[in-house]
Amino acid sequence: MVTELVGERGLAELLRVREEYRSLAADVARAREQNVRLQAEVRRLREDPSAIEDLARRDLGLIKPGEKLFIIRDVPAGPTAR
């Protein structure tokens, strides 16, 4: 009887394996969702020229000819007037 609960193939092992299965199934579901998102992004980049432009502007900081680039930096606050 004790062997059935704690043995190599006992209830404790069964519960551990079930929990591991649930965890792995959740990992697979997350990976599938990410795969769907990435496939949609690939499709968008292949079919929509504005998507490539958006990516180039955002990630590479590129601008179109004739556009002006303004860089705004945070300036530390000086002493306050009293």
Closest CA to 50 of 36, 69, 64: 64
pLDDT digits (tens, 9 = 90+) for 62-76: 888 898 888 888 888
In eight-state DSSP terms, residue 80 is P
% residues pLDDT > 70 (the chain): 87
The residue with greater pLDDT, 64 or 24, is 24
Q: What is the pLDDT of residue 4?
A: 62
With a CB cutoff of 8 Å and minimum separation 6, the contacts of 82 are: none
pLDDT digits (tens, 9 = 90+) for 38-65: 999 999 999 999 999 998 888 988 888 8
Please state, in angstroms and rounded to a whole number, the distance separating the CA atoms of residues 23 and 20. 5
- pTM across the whole model: 0.56
